[in-house]
Every structure is written in structure tokens, then in C-alpha cells.
Amino acid sequence: MKNLMDEFGYIIDKINTASFVEIPFKHLLLTDFLSDEHFQEIIHCKEVNKPVYKTTESLIQDLLDSGYQVQNFPGCTTSIEQYLKSYNSNKYEMDTEILEGFGLTMRLKKFETPLVERILTFLNSEEFSSCLKNKFGVVCNNKLNTSIQKYLHGYEISPHPDERNKALTYLLNINPNPKSEKDKIHTSLLKFIPERKYIYDFWKYNDKIERCWVPWNWCEKVVETNLNNCFVIFSPSNESLHGVKLDYSHLEYQRTQIYGNLFYEKSSSEIWKTYKDIDLLKNEKSRREKVKSLIPSSIINILKK
């Protein structure tokens, strides 16, 4: 590990000295995260920089042959057959009206480029994990899980703050094509529109209820994480709304990230509700009754007193 600290220790220094951004919620946003030497080697290595493909079928097969595997991931299917059928027909059978489609996420499992293996080893190390935990004041015995992932067209996660069992989440853009910064492939950091801000308090005072995905029109975009070699990390909270919707040609290049998560040992949530359950504006006549039903009984008793 000493050699890796000598090589990548500058990353920890950047995080330790970085200042938090508070809008739209507390996070770190670091540009030029990797050194230029490391970044250029990463985006030009064979695992990341792929040729232009004629078909999605040939793209997926080449990724599989190159050490990628289909990853179970929100906003995606794990069935290549289902994805190809939907992609080629542009018809997506969805079990929710909140999303328009789904994608396919591929995670790199085999490394040929030495730098790729070294940097992922470092980003999964106790030293790096401890740095992030200390920066965000997170107490957790679990280790950070970091990987390289490619996301194909259609991948969509509507605005959400992440579930309560997640302690940290981060992403680093390592897109091999310069035009990626202008394409519709990036994660947005959002906030609720004024009439939906009540949801912040609902999640705050109902900490046994899991936080859910919400419609795009309930939110407004504040930050778009579009820059290459841009590192974004936050500790999920009731305010940490973010979402992504890919609409681009993955035959030319694929949206590629170094992606990491840290989970708590146990989730504090016990109850699941969808966005429909917390939509107090749908029926104004029943709004007072619905608000009352969502307030914990302990709070009601205090108000009565």
C-alpha cells in the first residue's frame, strides 16, 4: 500500500483540503481530480476507450469479451435480451409512469491495464475510505466499494436523495470522448420546487419511512456534473436530490465512470412509500387530512399539549 500512497496520495490531499459546497445540498465537487498523467492514461486505456460500433449487439458483445459484466443497477435491466428488444424498437415496458425507459449498466471485472488495477485498488483501500469517512463525519465499519462502469442509452433514475442505508456515494467522470461534456448523460443535483419543499420535512420527521424517487417536474436542476475528470461525493440526506437520464449514442462512446458507494450496517427505515403516497397537491380538498395522517402520533400528542 505504501507504493500506492506514494502514487495516489495527492488524491487524499485534495479531499482533505477541499471546501464543501452547500447548494443545493452539502457535497464536494472537485475538478481535475486525477492528475493529468493518470487521467489521460485512464481515458485512453483499452478498458475505457472503445472503437465506434455499428450495432448495439456488437458493442455489448465486445464489452463482455473485454471483461465487463452486466450489473444489477437502479434504472437498468439485467437482461441483455430485454434491453436490445426495447432499444431497437424504442418501446419500453415500464411498471411505473415515473420513468420513460431503462438502460444497461456494465461493470469492469477484469483489468489488463496496470494503472486501472492500481487505481481501483487504491480507491477501495482503507486509507481512501477513512479519508472520505473523516471528511463527512461518517461512522461505519463497512468498506467503500469502487468500480468502473459503463452506462448505455436509456438509463434513467428520476430525482431521489438515496436510501437511508447509504452512507456515501461518489462518481468520477472518465469519459473517453471530449464531446461527452455536452451530451445528455450527466447526473444533475437538484432541489424541490417551492410547492414541493414540504417533502424535506416529511422525510425529516418520518425517519422510519424510506425516501423515494419523485417525478422530474417536482424538482429543478441546480448543478450538472458534466465536466470530465470531475469528482462529486456526498453523504445522502433528506436534501440530496439527484437524478440522471441518458439520451445519447452509445455506439460512438459510452458514458464511463469510476463509481463508489459506502453503506451503513443497517438501515433505519422500515416503511416504504412511493411518490404517490406523499403527493399532497394531487387533491387539495384532502390535503389537510393527508397531512395529518402523515404526522407521527408522538408529534400530534405534543401539539395537543
* CATH, residue 116: 2.60.120.620
Q: How confident is the model at residue 266 (pLDDT cuts 50, 70, 90)?
A: confident
Answer whether residue 144 is part of any domain.
yes
Between the CA of residue 254 and those of 51, 123, 172, 220, 241, what are the distances in Å?
Answer: 10, 22, 14, 26, 24
Q: What is the pLDDT of residue 284?
A: 56
- Secondary structure (3-state) at 173: strand
- CB 102, CB 245: distance < 8 Å: no
Question: How many percent of the chain have pLDDT more than 70?
Answer: 91
Cα 40-107-122 angle, rounded to 5 deg: 55
For residue 298, the model assigns a pLDDT of: 66
> Whole-number mean pLDDT of the chain?
91
Residue 299 lies in a domain: no
Q: Which residues face 192 on adjacent strands?
A: 219
Range of the domain at 112: 2-274
Q: What is the pLDDT of residue 283?
A: 60
Q: Is position 289 within any domain?
A: no
| DSSP H stretches of helix in the chain | 2-17, 36-44, 56-65, 80-89, 114-123, 126-136, 198-205, 287-294, 297-304
| pLDDT tens, position by position, 36-90 | 999 999 999 999 999 999 999 999 999 999 999 999 999 999 999 999 999 999 8
Q: How far is it, in rounded angstroms, from Cα 68 to Cα 247?
A: 22
What does the CA dihedral 263, 264, 267, 272 come to, rounded to 10 degrees? -20
Q: Which amino acid is at 139?
A: V
pLDDT band at 177 (very low <50, low <70, confident <90, very high): very high
**CA torsion 91→89→160→230, rounded to 10°?**
-160
- Of residues 209 and 297, more confidence is placed in 209
Position with higher pLDDT, 115 vs 299: 115
Q: Is residue 191 part of a domain?
A: yes
Q: What angle do CA 169, 149, 87 make, to 5 degrees?
A: 115
Residue 103's pLDDT band, with cuts at 50, 70 and 90, is very high
Average pLDDT over residues 216-241: 97
Model pLDDT, residue 99: 83
Per residue in 3-40, pLDDT (tens digit) is 899 999 999 999 999 999 999 999 999 999 999 999 99
Sign (positive or negative) of CA dihedral 220, 177, 38, 145: positive
Does 91 have pLDDT greater than 70?
yes
Look at residue 101 in the predicted model and tell me its pLDDT: 84
pLDDT at 305 over 80: no
- Give the sign of the dihedral formed by CA 125, CA 128, CA 131, CA 135: negative
The answer, yes or no, to whether residue 259 has pLDDT greater than 70, is: yes
Is 285 a domain residue? no
Report pLDDT for 193: 97
Q: How many independent structural domains does the chain possess?
A: 1
Is 126 a domain residue?
yes
- Coil, strand or helix: which one is 245? strand
Query: Which pLDDT score is estimated for 267?
Result: 72
Asked if residue 279 belongs to a domain, the reply is no
For the full predicted model, state whether its pTM sits above 0.75: yes
pLDDT for residue 185 is more than 90? yes
Please check whether residue 134 lies inside any domain of the structure: yes
Closest by CA to 157, choosing from 64, 259, 271, is 259
**DSSP assignment letter at 268:** S
Q: Which residues contact 223 (CB under 8 A, 6 or more apart)?
A: 23, 24, 29, 188, 189
